[in-house]
């Protein structure tokens, strides 16, 4: 009698793996690598947004005035990203934003001090807070937001006390009857009562 293999599906699995490997190898050839036909191009990994530095808004820049102290500038703009020992009278605020599918954005603003007093400030034209938030808006459009109104039945149900708000007397009165006329089991309290 001929001996049959214990795993008849193993040869089918090996064949399928070989076919998939052959397809992927043929798709990676140089003629198809940039093609939309290539299934490898259908899958794009998610790239997380990278935000680095201190965002300085147009509203913050408008609050700067010549003669402010370092502490006042720090309270308006925040801690500088770069403060050098070699350039003690210069603070640089740099902000970069890298998002998938969008050109990286970079902003730089520099403030100069004379001693402890703000002497001058210059840099890129900064966006307002509203403009910046609009650039962060997600591309995904969700469906229409449903109206947040409760029906009369939902309001009436909300007026009834919840299970945890009921007193033990009310809860025992509302308890379901014990089947077959058996006596209800009572348990001692979980915590001892101290006088």
User: What are the start-end ranges of the H helices in 28-98?
Assistant: 58-63, 70-77
Task: Tell whether 189 is covered by a domain.
Answer: no
* Together in a domain, 22 and 82: no
Give Cβ neighbours of residue 110 (< 8 Å, ≥ 6 apart). 90, 91, 92, 93, 121, 122, 123
Looking at residues 35-55, what average pLDDT do you find? Answer: 72
Looking at residues 32-45, what average pLDDT do you find? Answer: 64
Task: Tell whether 170 is covered by a domain.
Answer: no
Residue in 67, 77, 64, 61 with CA at minimum distance from that of residue 119: 67
Looking at residues 138-152, what average pLDDT do you find? Answer: 68
Q: Which domain holds residue 128?
A: 50-136
In whole angstroms, give the CA distance from residue 71 to residue 113: 12
pLDDT for residue 41 is more than 60: yes
* Together in a domain, 59 and 129: yes
Residue 131 has phi, psi (to 5 degrees) of: -65, -40
Task: Tell whether 22 is covered by a domain.
Answer: yes
Q: Please identify, among 136, 163, 182, the residue that sits at the C-terminal boundary of a domain.
A: 136
Strand 90-99, strand 102-114: pairing? antiparallel
- Residue bearing the bigger pLDDT, 143 or 31: 143
Average pLDDT of the chain, as a whole number: 75
* Together in a domain, 27 and 88: no
* Together in a domain, 62 and 110: yes
Predicted confidence at residue 17, as pLDDT, reads 83
* Together in a domain, 129 and 70: yes
pLDDT for residue 138 is more than 80: no
* Together in a domain, 31 and 63: no
CB 78 within 8 A of CB 54: yes
Task: Tell whether 111 is covered by a domain.
Answer: yes
Task: Tell whether 31 is covered by a domain.
Answer: yes
**What percent of the chain has a predicted confidence (pLDDT) above 70?**
64
* Together in a domain, 63 and 33: no
For 173-186, what is each residue's pLDDT tens digit?
555 555 665 666 77
Q: How far apart are the first and last CA of the chain?
A: 86
Cα separation values, 148 from 120, 144, 153, 191, Å: 51, 12, 15, 42
Which residue is associated with the tokens 């007093």? 117
């Amino acid at each position: 009698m001929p001996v049959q293999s214990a795993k008849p599906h193993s040869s089918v699995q090996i064949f399928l793996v070989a076919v998939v490997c052959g397809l992927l190898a043929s798709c990676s050839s140089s003629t198809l690598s940039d093609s939309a036909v290539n299934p490898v191009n259908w899958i794009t990994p998610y790239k997380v947004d990278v935000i680095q530095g201190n965002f300085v808004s147009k509203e913050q820049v408008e609050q700067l005035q010549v003669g402010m102290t370092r502490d006042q500038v720090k309270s308006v703009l925040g801690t500088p990203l770069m403060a050098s020992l070699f350039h003690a009278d210069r603070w640089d605020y740099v902000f970069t934003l890298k998002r998938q599918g969008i050109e990286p954005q970079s902003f730089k603003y520099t403030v100069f001090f004379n001693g402890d007093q703000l002497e001058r400030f210059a840099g890129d034209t900064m966006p307002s807070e509203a403009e910046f938030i609009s650039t962060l808006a997600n591309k995904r459009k969700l469906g229409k937001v449903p109206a947040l109104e409760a029906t009369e039945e939902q309001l009436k149900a909300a007026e009834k006390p919840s299970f945890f708000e009921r007193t033990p007397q009310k809860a025992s009165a509302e308890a379901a009857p014990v089947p077959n006329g058996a006596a209800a089991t009572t348990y001692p309290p979980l915590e001892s009562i101290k006088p």
